[in-house]
Amino acid sequence: MLGQWMDPEEVYERGRALRGRVDHQTHRSVDLAARRPAVADFVQSSNEGRLPGLIPLRVRRMLASPFTFFRGSAGLMAGDLAAGPATGLEAQLCGDAHAGNFGLYGTHGGRIIMDINDFDETASGPWEWDLKRLAVSLVLAGRVGGVSEGGCRDAAQEAVRAYRHTSRHLARLGFLESWTALGDESVLNRVKADELLDDFALAARKAKQNTSAKVAAKWTRLDGREWRFVADPPVLSRVSSAAADAVIGGLPGYLKSLHESRGHLLARYSFSDVAFRVVGTGSVGLRSYLILLRGNGDEALILQAKQAVRSAVNVALGRTPASHEGERIVHGARLVQAETDPLLGWTTIGGHPFLIRQFRNRKGGIDPAGLKRNHLDDYGRLAGALLARAHSRSIDPRLLAGYCADGERMDTAFSAYAVGYADQTESDHSQLVKAVRAGAMEAAGED
C-alpha cells in the first residue's frame, strides 16, 4: 500500500509541533524508575537463563569499569528511560546504542562501512532512548580514557548536534537516496570528523583482513579429511555431541529464514565442526556457537549462532515477548542497517531462539575508550550521524528534523542528561563492586 503524498513543510511542522508537548529542555532531567531494583538484584535477575558456569565471568567483565558495567546493563537504563519524557515518535531502535556498538564491516561490493552492529535489544521504541544511551556512553568512555570532563561533555553534545544535522540533511533528500545512504568515509567529511580519519583508515585496513580464512588459520586444524576447531578455553571450547547435534538440527530452519538464493549458496557447503565461544559483556553466559563450514577445496566459512533473549526495550515498555526473538533481531537489523549481512538469519536450537550470521565479515571497530579528546568528539559526531541515518529508515526524517530544528538547547539538554546519568552509572558500578567484595556474587573466570 502506497502512502499519501504530503508537503514536506507540513511534515516538518508536525515534528516541530511536538516541542509543545516535550520541549528540548525537558530532556535534561535524569529520571529513575519508580521501582528501580538494587544493582545486585538487577544483575542477578539479568543472569537468569544464562549458563551458570559463565556468570562469574560476566560479572567480572562488568566490574572492569563503569563503561563496561554500562555495556552489560542495558535493561537497567531502559527501565529508567521509560520513566522519562517521550516525544511520541518511535523508531526501530538499536536498543543498546552505546558507543562500542558501532563497528566496521564489509558490504556486498567490498567496501568497508561503519554502522550500528549489535541488535540484541532491537525493538520499536522512542528514538530518544538510543540517542541518550549513545550520549551517556561517550561520557563514560571518555572518563575511562582520561578525557577531561569538559571533553566528555563536548563529545556527547557533538553526537546530538550531528544527529540533528544529519536528520536535517536526510530530510532534504529523496526517499530512496536517504534510505541507501552509507556510513563510509564520506560521512567523516560531512560531519567534520577529520581527526578520526586515521583511526577509521587503520580500523578499515584491519577489518579487510578479518575473514573466515583468518579465523580458520588461527582456531582450526585440518587432519586428513577432518577439519576441527582447536579449543582455547575459556573463550573457545569443545561442545558435547548432543550440543553439536542440536546445532546441526537447527540449520535447516536457518536456511529457510534466508532469501532463497542464499539458501542455494549455503547448500554448496558441508558441515565440519562446531565450538562454543564466549562473546561480549552483556551476552556472556548466553549460548553462542561457531559453526565451521567447508566450501571449495580448503575454503572455510564460519558462522556464529547466538542465543536471542527478550529485548530490554520491550520489557521496559511492558510489551509481550516476540514470537521468535531471533527473528526480531534479524528484522531489526535489516530495517536499520544500510547493508546487512546476506547470511543473517534465525532458527531454534535446543528449544532456544537463535540468530545466525557470518562470524567475521571483515568486521572491525574503533575503541571509544581509547580515544583522546579531539578524537572522541569526532567519534561522537560520526556515531550521532550514523544513528540518525539508522532511525530515518523507520521514522520520516522530516518529522525528526522538525522536532530537532533550532536545537542548540537540545544539544545542551542531552549532554546534561549524559553527564548526570554517567554519574548514576558510576554509582551503580560502585554498588556492584561492593556486592562482589561482600560475597553477594562471584566474579572470576579469566586472567
Same domain, 154 and 271: no
Dihedral (C-alpha) 416, 422, 423, 426: value to the nearest 10 degrees?
180
Q: 384 in a domain, yes or no? A: yes
Q: 336 in a domain, yes or no? A: yes
Phi first, then psi: give them for residue 288, nearest 5 degrees: -145, 125
Spatial separation of the C-alpha atoms in residues 411 and 155, rounded to whole Å: 11
Same domain, 192 and 292: no
* Residue that is last in its domain, among 358, 393, 423: 358
CB-based contacts of 416: which residues, under 8 Å, 6+ apart?
28
Q: 2 in a domain, yes or no? A: no
Tell which residue, 316, 319, 395, 308, has the closest CA to residue 352. Answer: 308
Return the pLDDT at 191: 64
Q: 196 in a domain, yes or no? A: yes
Spatial separation of the C-alpha atoms in residues 85 and 96, rounded to whole Å: 18
Spatial separation of the C-alpha atoms in residues 38 and 67, rounded to whole Å: 18
Per-residue pLDDT in tens (0 to 9) along the chain, 447 residues? 788 899 999 999 999 999 999 999 999 999 999 999 999 999 999 999 999 999 999 999 999 999 999 999 999 999 999 999 999 999 999 999 999 999 888 877 777 888 999 999 999 999 999 999 999 999 999 999 999 999 999 999 999 999 999 999 999 999 988 888 766 555 555 666 666 767 778 888 888 888 888 889 999 998 878 899 999 988 899 999 999 999 999 999 999 999 888 888 999 999 999 999 998 788 898 999 999 999 999 899 999 999 999 999 999 999 999 999 999 999 999 999 988 999 999 999 999 999 999 998 788 888 999 999 889 998 999 899 999 999 999 999 999 999 999 889 999 999 999 999 999 999 999 999 999 999 999 998 655
Question: How many degrees, rounded to 5, is the angle at CA 303 between CA 392 and CA 339?
Answer: 20
Tell which residue, 335, 36, 422, 385, has the closest CA to residue 191. Answer: 385
Spatial separation of the C-alpha atoms in residues 267 and 255, rounded to whole Å: 9
CB 57 within 8 A of CB 234: yes
Same domain, 224 and 332: yes
Same domain, 76 and 185: yes
CB-based contacts of 119: which residues, under 8 Å, 6+ apart?
94, 95, 329, 332, 333, 336
**The residue count for the chain:** 447
342-348, long-range: CB < 8 A, 24+ apart: 342/108, 342/259, 342/262, 343/258, 343/262, 343/266, 343/303, 345/254, 345/255, 345/257, 345/258, 346/253, 346/254, 346/257, 346/308, 347/250, 347/251, 347/253, 347/254, 347/257, 347/305, 348/250, 348/253, 348/324
Spatial separation of the C-alpha atoms in residues 405 and 184, rounded to whole Å: 25
- The sheet carrying 270-277 orders its strands as 236-237, 270-277, 288-294, 300-307, 352-358, 345-349
* β-strand partners of 121: none
Return the pLDDT at 252: 95
72-109: buried (b, 16+ CB within 10 Å) or exposed (e) per residue?
A: bbbbbbbbbbbebbbbebbbbbbbbbbbbbbbbbbbee
Same domain, 45 and 179: yes
Q: Is the pTM of this model over 0.85?
A: yes
* Residue that is last in its domain, among 358, 392, 419: 358
Split into its structural domains, the chain has a count of 2
Which three three-digit cell numbers place residue 418?
A: 549524559
CA distances from 53 to 156, 236, 365, 424, 439 (A): 37, 14, 29, 30, 17
Same domain, 85 and 201: yes
Q: Are strands 90-93 and 123-126 parallel, antiparallel or unpaired?
A: antiparallel
Q: Are strands 123-126 and 112-116 parallel, antiparallel or unpaired?
A: unpaired
Q: 295 in a domain, yes or no? A: yes
The conformation of residue 187, written as its DSSP 8-state character, comes to: H
CB 313 within 8 A of CB 228: no
Same domain, 169 and 293: no
* Residue that is last in its domain, among 294, 328, 358: 358
Look up cell 514470537; give the residue: 323
Same domain, 246 and 223: yes
Same domain, 39 and 184: yes
Q: Which helix (H) or strand (E) holds 226?
A: strand 226-229
Q: 1 in a domain, yes or no? A: no
CA distances from 358 to 183, 251, 303, 363, 385 (A): 20, 14, 4, 10, 26
Return the pLDDT at 135: 98
Is there a cis peptide before residue 234, judged by omega within 30 degrees of 0? Answer: yes
Same domain, 82 and 227: no
CB 347 within 8 A of CB 250: yes
The residue range of the domain holding 108 is 8-27+34-207+364-437
Calculate helix-pair angle for 149-171, 373-391, nearest 10 degrees. 30
Tell which residue, 406, 316, 389, has the closest CA to residue 34. Answer: 316
Q: 49 in a domain, yes or no? A: yes
CB 298 within 8 A of CB 319: no
Same domain, 65 and 187: yes
Tell which residue, 404, 434, 432, 385, has the closest CA to residue 115. Answer: 385
CA distances from 124 to 391, 393, 429, 436 (A): 10, 12, 28, 35
CB 378 within 8 A of CB 366: no
Q: 294 in a domain, yes or no? A: yes
CB 167 within 8 A of CB 404: yes
Same domain, 12 and 134: yes
